[in-house]
A and B are shown apart, each in its own frame.
Chain A
Amino acid sequence: MTVPTPNFDAKVLRKTVLEMAYSGATVHIGCAFSIIEILAVLYRNHLRYPTNDPRAAGRDYLVLSKGHGVMAQYACMRELGWLDDEAFTKYFANGSDLKGLSDSRIPGLEVTSGSLGHGFSVGVGMAMGAKLHGTDQKTYAIVGDGEINEGPIWEGALFAAHHGLKNFMVIVDENGFQAMGSTEDVLKLGSIQAKFESFGFEAVTIDGHDETAIDSAIARLWKSDTGLPKALIARTVKGKGVPFMENNNIWHYTRLNPDTYRQALSAVAGEST
């Protein structure tokens, strides 16, 4: 596949998400905005796709277990030339392929998620598969902090640690919110890093909007020779990049109108890089 020059600038990606959300009149904008920098760093510096083919054998696996953030991934896939402009202008039109949650039939999306706590286990299976095949493929699973209420996350964490899946990295988008409120109010998580460490992961916590910090933490975790699976806890802001959306959970559900769309676009355009 020929490669356009991808621009994983966070402003560009957020603008794409806004355009998409506005044209499709869709929700989950806040869920997408908290993982923009994480995805930008992964696609720019870490994920390996031979010949830019999203289904290439030997690729690294990126599992978006928190399928609600899928618009952020679509935005990256557009930069890679995997999705054309029509997919964005006709988002949510009758008969369109792209759905409101991750669907594995779209090349570039590895799992069908949105029902939470599924992708993590599928990712553990992919990492186990790569280990058994003896390849150097890496698997990343992005989960939400609300999502880790789900039991299978911890079943899979036990398995990954027991089998020494050092090719597996979970990235927790710790934005502090889930559908109905703050994680603190709904079901207290305590220290996510300490939880994964106690399950046998090598874990670090970073600012999930600081691309340099994300990049070096991922590189450091892969370089480590502990033989443990990895957990990157990314402290993020739900709705990051648009002040009136930040830490305001109504943007889990709210649709853009012409006014909020215009305001959001200008906020994103003014975002410092």
Chain B
Amino acid sequence: MRNAFSEALVRLAKADPNVLLLTGDHGYALFDEFRKACPAQYINAGIAEQNMVGMAAGLARTGFRPIVYGLSAFIPVRVVEQIKLDVAHDKLPVIFIGDGAGFVYSHLGTSHQSTEDIACTRAIPDLSVYSPADRFEVTACMDAAYQSKSSVYLRMGKSDRGDVHAAIPKQKIGALLQARPANAADIAFIATGSMVRTALDIATASYPDAGVWSAPFIKPIDSAQVAAVCRRARTVVVLEEHSVLGGLGSVIAEISAEFAPVRILRIGVRDRFSHHCGTYEYLLNEHALDRAAIEQRIRDFLAAT
């Protein structure tokens, strides 16, 4: 996933000299290739995210295409107001990359963990929110963000969970991408980012007829397609490495409630901070987001239906 991101950055910057990469002193090894290929298009703005985002707006106003990189705990959460006022208000073509979303920094604690970034950004008008699940979706999201010529937040979570597609998806912005075909099962899975892999593993093992959809586009999202998925299933399970408040689960529940009511199990972070530190897998377990805990929750939910 990170290679795909770096490759997309270098490719976009080489093709368009107005692409500028701004970082808040993060991404040490990640940008080696970029700094070698496009040194004049690289700006380390220092540990000063608020100014960096304001400057990105100024640079965009003078014709540049800034790509602003940071950890998702800082870009976008620390700078929500700069994104809203300086960038999205005028649909400026700035792409925000929030890396390490969810519990990637499992050992570092709450300051570096990010489970509220989707909720913080999706209510901002004229800001798109993308959340790719694998290297193919990263490439598709980077290209979509660049071509949109508007303001985009791209969330990058745990990057080494393996592919969920076999090739770069070609669907239009907003589409749910089918990661596993549906055979008219009672249950459907919609997931985003790192949790698409988990959804696939659970469906393959326990619900062989269930479809799995990846949602790389949190906003905009094709609500007709979401409603169609909800209409065909008796239960929809939504999975994300993000708070259940305001994330993908909320998006799906909102659309379902309005167009295609169905029981929805929202699997995500249940409105709590991490209490302990440990490996990524340990943190998933603490938040009951490991595969076994999720399977149990689904069984309990189905039994109670």
A104 to B91, CA, bound (A): 11
Contact A120 B54 (CB under 8 A): yes
Category for how many chain A residues contact B: 20 to 34
Is B192 an interface residue when CB atoms closer than 8 A count as contact?
A: no
Residues on A with C-beta less than 8 A from B57 are 111, 121-122, 125
Is A249 an interface residue when CB atoms closer than 8 A count as contact?
A: no
Which residues 150-196 in A have Cβ within 8 Å of B in the complex? 151-152, 155-156, 158-159, 162
Which of B61-69, B176-184, B219-227, B243-251 lies on the face that meets chain A?
A: B61-69
A44 to B56, CA, bound (A): 30
A70 to B55, CA, bound (A): 22
Is B86 an interface residue when CB atoms closer than 8 A count as contact?
A: yes
Residues on A with C-beta less than 8 A from B48 are 152, 155-156, 158-159
Residues on B with C-beta less than 8 A from A119 are 54
A132 to B22, CA, bound (A): 14
Contact A122 B55 (CB under 8 A): yes
Which of A110, A132, A152 contacts B61 (CB under 8 A)? A110
Contact B81 A125 (CB under 8 A): no
Residues on A with C-beta less than 8 A from B82 are 118, 121, 152
Is A76 an interface residue when CB atoms closer than 8 A count as contact?
A: no
Residues on B with C-beta less than 8 A from A111 are 57, 86
Is B126 an interface residue when CB atoms closer than 8 A count as contact?
A: no
Q: Other than the known A112-B86, A152-B54, what 12 A-B pairs have Cβ atoms closer than 8 Å?
A: A111-B86, A121-B50, A121-B54, A124-B58, A125-B54, A125-B60, A125-B61, A126-B59, A127-B58, A132-B20, A155-B48, A159-B55
Give chain A nearest CB distance to B65 CB in angstroms: 11
Contact A125 B55 (CB under 8 A): yes
Is A123 an interface residue when CB atoms closer than 8 A count as contact?
A: yes
Residues on A with C-beta less than 8 A from B81 are 115, 118
Which residues 68-96 in B have Cβ within 8 Å of A in the complex? 81-82, 85-86, 89-90
Is B53 an interface residue when CB atoms closer than 8 A count as contact?
A: yes
Residues on B with C-beta less than 8 A from A133 are 62-63
By secondary structure, the A interface counts as: helix
Closest chain A residue to B64 by CB distance? A129
A119 to B51, CA, bound (A): 10
A106 to B220, CA, bound (A): 27
Residues on A with C-beta less than 8 A from B85 are 112, 115, 118
Is B4 an interface residue when CB atoms closer than 8 A count as contact?
A: no
A159 to B139, CA, bound (A): 32
Residues on B with C-beta less than 8 A from A152 are 48, 50-51, 54, 82
Contact B53 A121 (CB under 8 A): yes
20 examples of A-B residue contacts, CB within 8 angstroms: A112-B89, A118-B82, A118-B85, A118-B86, A121-B82, A122-B54, A122-B57, A123-B58, A124-B58, A125-B55, A125-B58, A125-B62, A127-B58, A128-B58, A129-B58, A133-B62, A152-B48, A152-B54, A152-B82, A158-B46
Is B45 an interface residue when CB atoms closer than 8 A count as contact?
A: yes
Q: What string of 1s and 0s marks CB contacts (under 8 Å) between B184-223 and chain A?
A: 0000000000000000000000000000000000000000
By secondary structure, the B interface counts as: helix
Residues on B with C-beta less than 8 A from A132 are 20, 59, 64
Give chain A nearest CB distance to B96 CB in angstroms: 15
Which residues 88-113 in A have Cβ within 8 Å of B in the complex? 104-105, 110-112
Which of B46, B59, B63, B86 contacts A128 (CB under 8 A)? B59
Closest chain A residue to B50 by CB distance? A152
Residues on B with C-beta less than 8 A from A151 are 50
Which of A110, A112, A129, A155 contacts B51 (CB under 8 A)? A155
A93 to B62, CA, bound (A): 33
A156 to B50, CA, bound (A): 9
Is A233 an interface residue when CB atoms closer than 8 A count as contact?
A: no
Closest chain A residue to B55 by CB distance? A125
Give chain B nearest CB distance to A109 CB in angstroms: 11
Give chain A nearest CB distance to B258 CB in angstroms: 30
Closest chain B residue to A124 by CB distance? B55
Is A130 an interface residue when CB atoms closer than 8 A count as contact?
A: yes
A229 to B43, CA, bound (A): 18
Give chain B nearest CB distance to A50 CB in angstroms: 15
Give chain A nearest CB distance to B10 CB in angstroms: 19
Residues on A with C-beta less than 8 A from B61 are 110, 122, 125-126, 129
Is A117 an interface residue when CB atoms closer than 8 A count as contact?
A: yes
Residues on B with C-beta less than 8 A from A105 are 90
Closest chain B residue to A105 by CB distance? B90
Closest chain A residue to B62 by CB distance? A129
Max chain B Cβ within 10 angstroms of own Cβ: one of A118, A124, A125, A133: A125
A32 to B54, CA, bound (A): 24
Give chain B nearest CB distance to A27 CB in angstroms: 21
Residues on A with C-beta less than 8 A from B59 are 125-126, 128-129, 132
A184 to B43, CA, bound (A): 37
Residues on A with C-beta less than 8 A from B56 are 125
Closest chain A residue to B47 by CB distance? A155
Residues on B with C-beta less than 8 A from A126 are 58-59, 61-62
A109 to B205, CA, bound (A): 59
Which of A121, A155, A159 contacts B86 (CB under 8 A)? A121
Q: What string of 1s and 0s marks CB contacts (under 8 Å) between B88-129 and chain A?
A: 011000000000000000000000000000000000000000
A110 to B60, CA, bound (A): 12
Contact B89 A104 (CB under 8 A): yes
